[in-house]
Amino acid sequence: MSGHPYVVRRSDRAQRSRLTVTGAGEVIVVLPRRAPLAEAARLVERHDAWLARHVGRLQAERARLDARPAIDAGRILSVEGRPLRVRRLDEAAPPARGAVRLIGDQLVVRVGCDGRTTADLLERWLRARARQAISDRVAARAAELAVRPGRISIRDQSSRWASASPGGALSFSWRLILAPPEVLDAVVVHELAHLRVRAHSRAFWELVERHAPQTPAARRWLRAHAREVRAALE
């Protein structure tokens, strides 16, 4: 029998049993409402080897993230592919409003009296940096793809890195600023391409890879570093 602990959840919408693993490494078996409970144990047993690899990888990644310095105690953030060390200044007379300045290879954080934490201040700075970098990339690439994008929003989507509406509005995660420039560029091209071809059809992928041949490598990078990027300020 498999030694993996798991949680069973019933679903009226599920047509068949399925197995998922959360980002925290919890194994969840989703069963249709009328499926026998024993099906959960059989499913876990059948995928024992995959679970061992997947859960082990998640646990190793979690340990690596936990071993990082605290966000205000020397953690290094990769911004546009450039490693920058966070340095918090503790001042006897703090300013009214906190701020972040880029000095050399350091992100110097001055915590103020406004109650914003180091992570709050860094997120605000990174969002502004992301807006500028993404807007520049969109402007540079839009003419190349012969499209006219609409409003650009910088958000913090949990399920996707970016999206494009049928009306031409573009939305990007600010966390893309923590990815290498070629990865951000590939995401921008992907969304601009949707303004010409809505579906992920063969024509769409041919268009994307013609303008951003690094797309397959960029997609692999995002899959491999998603948890690290999303936990950058935790």
Residue at 83 is within a domain: no
**Are residues 137 and 202 located together in one domain of the fold?**
yes
**Are residues 129 and 215 located together in one domain of the fold?**
yes
Residue at 86 is within a domain: no
Give residue 22's domain range: 7-66
Among the listed residues 156, 146, 231, 129, the one whose alpha carbon sits nearest the alpha carbon of residue 189: 146
**Are residues 134 and 222 located together in one domain of the fold?**
yes
Residue at 176 is within a domain: yes
Residue at 154 is within a domain: yes
Q: How far is CA 97 from CA 94, 118, 218, in A?
A: 8, 12, 37
Reading the chain (234 residues) residue by residue, the pLDDT tens digits are: 457 889 999 999 889 999 988 877 889 999 999 999 999 999 999 999 989 888 888 888 888 888 999 998 899 999 999 999 999 998 888 899 999 999 999 999 999 999 999 999 999 999 999 999 999 999 999 999 999 999 999 999 878 999 999 999 999 999 999 999 999 999 999 999 999 999 999 999 999 999 999 999 999 999 999 999 999 999
**Are residues 61 and 122 located together in one domain of the fold?**
no
**Are residues 140 and 203 located together in one domain of the fold?**
yes
Q: Are 173 and 152 in contact (CB under 8 A)?
A: no
Q: Are 5 and 27 in contact (CB under 8 A)?
A: yes
| Termini Cα distance of the chain | 37
**Are residues 124 and 185 located together in one domain of the fold?**
yes
Residue at 212 is within a domain: yes
Q: Are 175 and 156 in contact (CB under 8 A)?
A: yes
Structurally, the chain folds into a number of domains equal to 2
Q: Domain with 197 in it: what CATH number?
A: 3.30.2010.10
Residue at 80 is within a domain: no
**Are residues 41 and 122 located together in one domain of the fold?**
no
Domain final position from 51, 66, 81: 66
Angle between helices 202-211 and 215-230 (to 10 degrees): 90
**Cα 28–175–109 angle (5° rounding)?**
120
Q: What is the spatial distance between Cα 70 and Cα 126, in angstroms, rounded to a whole number?
A: 18
pTM of the model: 0.82
Residue at 84 is within a domain: no
Q: What is the spatial distance between Cα 86 and Cα 41, in angstroms, rounded to a whole number?
A: 47
Residue at 71 is within a domain: no
Q: How far is CA 88 from CA 76, 79, 101, 121, in A?
A: 12, 17, 11, 11
Q: How far is CA 120 from CA 28, 98, 190, 208, in A?
A: 33, 9, 30, 35
